[in-house]
Each structure stands twice: as structure tokens, then as C-alpha cells.
Amino acid sequence: MVERQLPKLGEIFELMQFKKPELNFKKARLESALTISDLRKVAKRRTPKAAFDYTDGAAEGELSIARAREAFEDIEFHPDILRPAENVDMSVEILGGPSALPFGIAPTGFTRLMQTEGEMAGAGAAGAAGIPFTLSTLGTSSIEAVRAANPRGRNWFQLYVMRDREISYGLVKRAAEAGFDTLMFTVDTPVAGARLRDKRNGFSIPPQLTLGTIINAIPRPWWWIDFLTTPTLEFASLTTTGGTVGELLNSAMDPTISYDDLAVIREMWPGKIVIKGVQNVPDAKRLVDLGVDGIILSNHGGRQLDRAPVPFRLLPEVVREVGKDATVIVDTGIMNGADIVASLALGAKFTLIGRAYLYGLMAGGRAGVDRTIEILRSEIERTMKLLGVSSIEELEPRHVTQLRRLEPIVQEGSRASVDA
């Protein structure tokens, strides 16, 4: 029998310690977010539907992004036991320079429409964390402003080849003069993908007020106050706006982009050049033969061609073919530090985050981006410790198995093969 007694008040108070309330509401909501999914929920509450859906959505049926996320879910880790990893080194050398963490911030367009601090928050947070920040051609801050926000950090520039080639050439020159060290030449956007959420929401640049947007804005007055009381959007490349994002892209992009354009840009650019949007092995091999410094396996976050190849599934085969000759980077669908660790184990040298960064931005501006980076950093560190590895170099393919949910059907006469 358990002996019972009257509780002692002193012992009760020792057992029941009340948490001091946090009066800083932004800090409280960000600290309560333990995952990128949590940040997404906060972002959805605080951001008008059209702006949130622009970030959250993808092309057509949104199958590409769903499959990319499933691919990261469908992995099995193989930890080593009795391998102490008390201190974990997460730093890497990437494209001729250091990064304190094995991921950087990907280029995102129209970023200040998500939250008014936009690229300034991303560049500042990246600089503070010691990771690269990438400015999009369709960014809403200038090349020079990003440099000012991240004066001692690593800045990269993502380039679209425009119909007016002189615009693109001018951007390349400005990025070089501003000290950006890497150019991200994007090849998967000859025309805009069908982003149906944007069409259904009537999302346009600049935002158009309708009865629906006004009703949706009522519980989110802070977003509109920020938007209307801060400087007007400044685009890195567009001189005129008006229309949906797809219409703007189609008016600016050139479907005739070719290897000749790559040769011209390569000749102009003094730093490292990587090709973003590679989606098969033959293209990867040809680009490496042409002497590019790296390739980024990406399907544009599922925002261009729906049902496109899943970059993470393509990764092992590309690394086998060209990994010794060029830097292989992967993006699309990364929402957890474990996704990053799995990518590195399978041969990627670096990863990029897009939506994860924007969820943090929408949830809390610069502080929200800091929180995104901190969440991913802690997840990477914990995953590595549980695997028994102390540095990125110790990660190997044996640490990860890709499980199968989608598997190609090989038909007679077909050259299709099962993913490695």
C-alpha cells in the first residue's frame, strides 16, 4: 500500500512553477514555432490569402511540390551507434567560400509582397548566420540595397535571361560591381508555369483591391499598414508592372534562351557560375563539359512544369556522373534539417531553402527569418548527432535509404530506368 499524506504547500510550489508571460507578442509567437510547419501556420494567419498562396502554391495540380516533399519523407536513416558526436561542425566550403551551415537562401521573386522587410530581412539574417543569400532578378530590392544589408556576407545573384538582353547584361554587370561572388543562371523558366492559385485569387503586381481582398484584409490590418506606409516596391529588373505574376513573367522572359546565351553570360561574369533548374543527367553532363562551376537540381519549387522530376530522387545518379567535376546543389521541398542532412549524405555539396525562408519572413519579418535558420540549424545538428557524425564530410550514402512511393513502369523499347 502507498502511504498517503497531506500535500505540503512548499512542495506544491516547487513542482508547479508558472512560466513568466512573454509580453513581446512577436517573440512569443516565433518562439512557439518549433518547426517550419509551425512557421507556415503563423504565416498563413498573418498574411492575406493572395500573398500567402503565391508563396505556398505551385503549378497546376501542385503534384511536383507534393512529390518533392514526399521524397524527403520517404527516407530511412541508418545511424552508427557508440560514435560520440558531442561537437558537430556544420560548416562547408561552397563555390570558393565558406558557409557556416550547409544551406543558403534561394532566390524568391516579389518578396516584399510577402512581408514588407523582404530581401533586407533575408540578406541581413543570412549575413548574421554566415550563409549565402541569393537575390532574384524579380526581387523587390535592388542589387545595391542587398549589398548594403549584407555588406560582409556572401551575396549571390539569380539571373533570368530577358527578352531585352541588355537588361540582363546590365544586371550581371551591376552584380559583379557590387561584389556578388556567384551567378545563378536559371534555365527552367522560358515561360511561366500555370500557377492556378494566383489566377483564382486575382493576385497581381501591384495588388488589386477587390471585395474579396478587402474582406480578407480585415483581420490582417498590420499587413496593409506595412504595405501602404513603407517605400514602394523597387524591382531589380522590371521597369513596368501590372498584371498577374504569370503575365509579367511571360512578358519579360524569352522562350528562345539557349546555350549561346549561357556562353555570353559566362564570358561576362568574373565569379562562379551555377546553372539552376537542371532536371536530367545528360543536361548535367553537358553543362559540366562546358565548364560551369556547379549545377542546381531544381524544378523551381514545383512552380513551373508540374509532374517534373523530383530533384532529391535525381540526386544520387547526377552525383555519380558529375559529382567529381562540379558542385551539385539541390533544392525544392526542403522543410526540415533532416532533409538537408539526407541530401548531403547522398552527395549534394549544398542546399537551398525558399518557402521555408518566406514562411519565417511572413511570420515575423527579420526575426522570423532568424527563427527559420535557427530551427533548421538545430534540426541539422540533432540529426547529425543521432547519426553519429561530427562533420558534414562524414555523411555518406550508407546513412540514407530512399524508400519508394513512385516507381517508373519500364515499357518495351523504353529507356526509362528505376531511380537509383
List the chain domain ranges.
26-402
CATH of domain 26-402: 3.20.20.70
Percent of the chain residues past pLDDT 70, beyond the cut: 90
pLDDT of residue 231: 79
> Lowest mean pLDDT: which of 8-12, 162-166, 283-287?
8-12
Q: What residues does 75 pair with on adjacent strands?
A: 402
Query: Could you say which of 46, 49, 272, 300 is catalytic?
Result: 300
| pLDDT per position as a tens digit, 172-213 | 999 999 999 999 999 998 888 888 998 888 777 666 666 676
pLDDT of residue 228: 79
Three-state secondary-structure class, residue 130: coil
pLDDT of residue 20: 76
Q: Region 286-310: what's the mean pLDDT?
A: 96
Task: Please tell me whether the overall predicted TM-score, pTM, comes out greater than 0.85 for this model.
Answer: yes
DSSP H or E run through 25: helix 25-31
pLDDT of residue 324: 94
| pLDDT per position as a tens digit, 349-385 | 999 999 999 999 999 999 999 999 999 999 999 999 9
Q: Region 12-30: what's the mean pLDDT?
A: 78
- Which triple of cell numbers denotes residue 212? 474579396
pLDDT of residue 395: 97
Instruction: Outline where 94-240 has alpha helix (H).
Output: 118-129, 143-149, 165-177, 196-201, 211-217, 221-228
Long-range contacts of 144-148 (CB under 8 A, 24+ apart): 144/174, 144/178, 145/119, 145/120, 145/234, 146/119, 146/120, 146/178, 147/178, 147/179, 147/180
pLDDT band at 225 (very low <50, low <70, confident <90, very high): confident
| pLDDT per position as a tens digit, 44-59 | 999 999 889 999 999 9
Q: Region 4-16: what's the mean pLDDT?
A: 74
Task: Choose among 252, 249, 352: nearest CA to 303.
Answer: 249
DSSP H or E run through 371: helix 355-387
Three-state secondary-structure class, residue 332: coil
> Lowest mean pLDDT: which of 13-22, 49-58, 283-292, 346-355?
13-22
Q: Is 300 a catalytic residue?
A: yes
Question: Which has more pLDDT, 223 or 46?
Answer: 46
pLDDT of residue 419: 43
CB under 8 Å to 25, separation ≥6 — which residues? none
- Residue type at 348? A
> Lowest mean pLDDT: which of 58-67, 72-81, 185-194, 223-232?
223-232
Q: How far apart are the first and last CA of the chain?
A: 61
DSSP 32: T
Rounded distance, CA 192 to CA 246, Å?
Answer: 5
Rounded distance, CA 258 to CA 287, Å?
Answer: 12
